[in-house]
Amino acid sequence: MFDFFWNLASFVVALGLLITVHEYGHYWVARRNGVQVERFSIGFGKVLWRKVNKEGTEFVIALIPLGGYVKMLDGRVDEVKPEDIDKTFNNKTVYQRIAIIAAGPLANFAFAIFAFYLMFLIGVPSVKPIVGDIMPESIAQRANISSNSEIIEVAGQKTLDWQDVNLALVSQIGESAFTIKTKEQGSASPKTYKVDAANWSFSPDKESAISSLGIAPYRAAVYAELAYIEEDSVADKAGLKIDDKLISINNESINGSWAMFSKNISQLPEQNVILVVERQGENQEIVVTPALIERAGKKIGYLGVVPKSDPYPKEYLFELRYGVVDALGQSLQRSWNLIVLSFDMIGKLLTGDISVKNLSGPISIAQGAGTSAQYGLVYFLGFLALISINLGIINLLPLPVLDGGHLFYYLVEIVTGKPVSEKIQEIGFKFGTLALLGLMSIALFNDFSRL
C-alpha cells in the first residue's frame, strides 16, 4: 500500500511539474507577443486553487492532474471588444502563432537539459559496463564477445556505463547488424565485434536490451549464506540466523545459488516454505512464510535477508560528475541523444520494427516515478528529463489535437498563403482525438497486462 501511495505522489509531482513547464512555455511566448491569456490551468475538472494576476490571467490548479492548458483570447470563439482585437491569438501572424505553439514542447526540451545539467553537477554513481557471463547459444556468443571485457562503444556511440549501453542498443532495434567495441582488461587495444541482429527481438517490459543479447553484466560473487537479517522480519521471527547456509527450499536443492533461492522466494508470497539450512555444521529445517510486498508494480515474496557477497571491485565503480561548463555540454548531448532516439522509436513503431505492446501509459510512468524517487534526487532528475523529452515529442506529433497538429496547419498556411478552413480543422481535430484515444487505450491495456 505504501508503494502505491508513494508512486502516486511521485507521479503527481513529476507530471504536475512537467505540465507546468510545458504550459508556461506557451504562456510566456504568448505574453511576449501581446496575446491576452485568460486562464493557465494545471489539471482538469474541479478547481482546487485559483489566483488572478494583474494582467487578468486566472491561474488554476484542478483536481485531475493528467494535463493542462493555456486559454488565450481568440476571436474565433470569444466575443472580443474592438480595443482587444490586437490581443487575440488568431490576429497574430502565422510566425507568431508558430512560436507560441512550439514554445510548449521546446520548454520541455529546455527543462530536460536543465535537469540533466543538475544531475551531472551533483554526480551519478555509475558502474563501468564490464561483461560478466555470456549466455550459451545467444547472439552475443555467436558474435564471440568475451567475458570480463568493457563495452566502450555500440554502433559508434561511446558508452561509459550500462545505461549508455542499453540506450545505444535500443537505438539499434530493427537493424540487421551493428558493432560492439570492447576493451579487454589490461589491454590497450580495443576489439570490434559484428553483431548479427537479424533475428533479435525482445520485450522491454520483461528484459533489457543487454540481457536479450545474452550479456550478463559483471556482478560480484553472491553466496547462499545470510549476512544480514532485518529485525522483526518474517525471517527473524522464523528463527533464521546470520551465517546460516541455505541448502534447499521445499525439498529442492538450490545448489549453492542465491539467485535460485531468491527467485523461488519471490514466487511464494504468503505460502509456507520449508527451508533447510546448515548451521554450525548441522542441517536444520525451518518453516517460513514470505511476506507479500509490491516492488516495481509486481507482488512478490519477501523474507528480509541479505546474502554474503564479495566486495565489488572499486576500479569498476565511478561517479559521473562534471564541472559547471562540461556538465552543460554533457546535458545537451544526453538530451539530443534521447530526442533522436525517441523520434527513431516512433519511426520504428510505424514501420512495425517495434510492437505497440511496448507502449507505456500512466501506470508505468507512475511506477517509474516512484522507483526513481526512492533511489534519490539524481535518479529522479534523470527520470524527469526523460519524461519531459517524451512529453515534448508526443506533443509534436502531427495530430490536430496536439501542438504538432496546429504547427502542421500553420505550415500549410505558410505554403498556401491562407489559413486551413475551419471545416477541415474540425475534421482533423475529431480524427486526432480518436487516434490519441486509441494510443492511450493501447498504452493503458499494456500497463494493466504488466501488473
181: helix, strand or coil: strand
Q: What is the pLDDT of residue 356?
A: 58
The yes-or-no verdict on residue 439 having pLDDT over 80 is no
Q: Are 143 and 180 in contact (CB under 8 A)?
A: yes
Per-residue buried b or exposed e for 350-370, using 16+ beta carbons within 10 Å of the residue's own CB: eeeebeeebbbbebbbbbbbb
Q: What is the pLDDT of residue 227?
A: 93
Say if residue 17 is exposed, middle or buried (CB neighbours under 10 Å; 0-12, 13-18, 19+).
middle
Average pLDDT over the chain, rounded to an integer: 86
What is the C-alpha to C-alpha distance for residues 449 and 305, in angstroms, rounded to an integer? 30
Which one, of 98, 116, 22, lies nearest residue 392 by Cα? 22
Domains of the chain in start order, with CATH, are 95-123+325-451 (no CATH), 124-218+311-320 (2.30.42.10), 222-310 (2.30.42.10)
Q: What is the pLDDT of residue 78?
A: 83
What is the C-alpha to C-alpha distance for residues 177 and 195, in angstroms, rounded to an integer? 5
The yes-or-no verdict on residue 331 having pLDDT over 90 is yes
pLDDT band of 285, cuts 50, 70, 90: very high
Q: Are 60 and 73 in contact (CB under 8 A)?
A: no
The yes-or-no verdict on residue 299 having pLDDT over 90 is no
Among 124-128, 201-205, 388-392, the minimum mean pLDDT is found in: 201-205
Calculate mean pLDDT across residues 433-445.
70
The yes-or-no verdict on residue 380 having pLDDT over 80 is yes
The yes-or-no verdict on residue 374 having pLDDT over 90 is no
- Compute the Cα dihedral for 293, 295, 300, 305 and give only its sign: negative
β-pair partners for 397: none
Calculate mean pLDDT across residues 158-167.
89
Among 76-85, 247-256, 329-338, the minimum mean pLDDT is found in: 76-85
What is the C-alpha to C-alpha distance for residues 262 and 297, in angstroms, rounded to an integer? 18
Q: What is the pLDDT of residue 451?
A: 55
What's the one-letter identity of residue 331? S
Determine what percent of the chain is predicted with pLDDT higher than 90.
46
DSSP 190: E
The yes-or-no verdict on residue 13 having pLDDT over 60 is yes
The residue from 23, 137, 230, 231 that is catalytic is: 23
Q: What is the pLDDT of residue 286?
A: 92
The yes-or-no verdict on residue 363 having pLDDT over 70 is no
Q: What is the pLDDT of residue 373?
A: 54
Assess whether 23 carries a catalytic annotation.
yes
Give the count of beta carbons closer than 10 Å to the beta carbon of residue 273. Answer: 18
pLDDT band of 65, cuts 50, 70, 90: confident
Q: What is the pLDDT of residue 197?
A: 87
- pLDDT, greater one: 170 or 116: 116
Calculate mean pLDDT across residues 164-186.
87
Phi-psi region of 189 (alpha: psi -120 to 50; beta: other; left: phi over 0): beta
As given in the structure block, the three cell numbers for residue 374 are 526512492
Give the rounded distance of the alpha carbon of 84 from its chain centre: 44
The residues near 40 (Cβ < 8 Å, ≥ 6 apart) are 23, 24, 27, 57, 58, 59, 60, 68, 70, 71
Q: What is the pLDDT of residue 15?
A: 84
As given in the structure block, the three cell numbers for residue 294 are 509490491
Q: What is the pLDDT of residue 205?
A: 62
Say if residue 102 is exposed, middle or buried (CB neighbours under 10 Å; 0-12, 13-18, 19+).
buried
Calculate mean pLDDT across residues 386-400.
89
Q: What is the pLDDT of residue 2?
A: 57
